[in-house]
A and B are shown apart, each in its own frame.
Chain A
């Protein structure tokens, strides 16, 4: 079983729609959780941290379910500029194992 699993997509979504991504992780000892966004041939950029109580930032909401080892990202009122690859990321032993990335979910917002 892969450590962090995501649906690679692509998700083709009309502008203004709501879209949700999920990811599962295998290491129950994981301590921190993140969503990163990566544009084509660019570096990953931190979108949101996700802690036990979840997190909301404008149009973006992230949720964590530790019991099911499941993380979600919801994007409301999607914009053309939201088109990117969204990487689900977990951190194990406080950094000593580095971040573990999923392969990413490719999102395409259509006008």
Chain B
């Protein structure tokens, strides 16, 4: 079985500060990893994904994440937070196997950006 743990249900940063949202996964086979963002009253939007290849992946809106197999982590970072980054962020895991495209999501981290 696969699972995702997002450390910190709420993260608060100042505008211009580093954003770090933590995600650890559990998977018995090589995972595919994703970060999604959800703005209020909207669906989830894909920020970035890791499937194979380069472990540092870049996504939209200046976000990036690094797959660290030894740490079973896929933390999301952005060098400088913007007010428009305030949203809820979800880490998700999937893998080849019987579940096809099923994603297992973490509980989400609400990011607050204050001036």
Chains A and B bind each other: no
